[in-house]
Amino acid sequence: MHYHPKSDLLRQRIILVTGAGDGIGREAALTYARFGAKVILLGRTESKLLKVQQEITDRGLLPAEVITLDLLHASQQDCHQVAERIAQWVPHLDGVLHNAGLLGEIVPVKNIQLQDWHDVMQVNVNAAFMLTQSLLPLLLKSHSSSLVFTTSSVGREGRSGWGTYAVSKFATEGLMQVLADEYKQTNLRVNCINPGGTRTSMRASAFPKEDSQKLKTPADIMPLYLYLMGDDSRRKTGISYDAQPGRKPGAAE
Ligand code: NDP
């Protein structure tokens, strides 16, 4: 995406990023902070989150907050507690990026282990749903807020062997569409991003044989992540965007 945001695009915006300790989420959190946002870093590995927080401090940006939560075991009560904690720090939320994700096993449907199915659904769908329910009141207090889910090309067209992960991303697209319709008369917009093949550890475990140097880095795909959090996307809702438009999905990418 060719998008050149103003350097203060997200000045004083308050944005929560899940899975902010690594990969795309880490880059998104650092980028949002660089464009002026106060970021709330949520993830399961505290040491990684603290490193991102320190990097933001070292750059002299608005101080970031850290919330350690393993979404695999997160309950509705945990999500309510997250919202309560955030409400003690800030008056509202201007953005939430649901980025944390679990790949699960890449196997044909007949071989999917039930536990793996439950785990992937829990992290990719249930946790995003529960967190959204808890955070909606804070998002609706903003004069212009953005809720962004992370999808995948296999969440739009089923592909052999992608089992649970693909189904979880179809569910993500569905949740985004329902929410976008429910909140279309409000200041909250709801969209999806499909990052496209990106150089992260999740990608490496899905495609261990590919040359990762040929992939875009998380930093390369940030224009869309910025666009959807800033006011330039204010009237856009219910859309599933590609961070790398025109890129062919799949192994031979
Ligand atoms: P990574 O595996 O590099 O990062 C995933 C992040 O999610 C990590 O910070 C990880 O935490 C966090 N996470 C995983 N499980 C949990 C959990 N149980 N609780 C809390 N946090 C958790 O993945 P990517 O950056 O590649 O992926 C980010 C998103 O983009 C995902 O939703 C993925 O499905 C999607 N995507 C990625 C593509 C790619 O090519 N990379 C392509 C299409 C979609 P920790 O650091 O502790 O492991």
Contacts of residues 57-61 at CB distance under 8 Å and 24 or more positions apart, as own/partner, are: 59/33, 59/34, 61/33, 61/34, 61/36
Nearest-atom number in ligand 1 for the CA of 123 is 18
Q: For the chain, which residues make up each domain, given as ranges?
A: 14-242
User: Exposed/middle/buried for 162, CB within 10 Å: 0-12, 13-18, 19+?
Assistant: buried
Q: Is 152 in the pocket of ligand 1 (CB under 6 A)?
A: yes
CATH annotation of 14-242: 3.40.50.720
Task: Please give the chain's pLDDT, 253 residues, in tens.
Answer: 789 999 999 999 999 999 999 999 999 999 999 999 999 999 999 999 999 999 999 999 999 999 999 999 999 999 999 999 999 999 999 999 999 999 999 999 999 999 999 999 999 999 999 999 999 999 999 999 999 999 999 999 999 999 999 999 999 999 999 999 999 999 999 999 999 999 999 999 999 999 999 999 999 999 999 999 999 999 999 999 999 998 887 653 3
> Predicted ipTM?
0.99
165 in active site: yes
Using the mean position of ligand 1's atoms as its centre, give its distance from the Cα of residue 18 in Å: 9
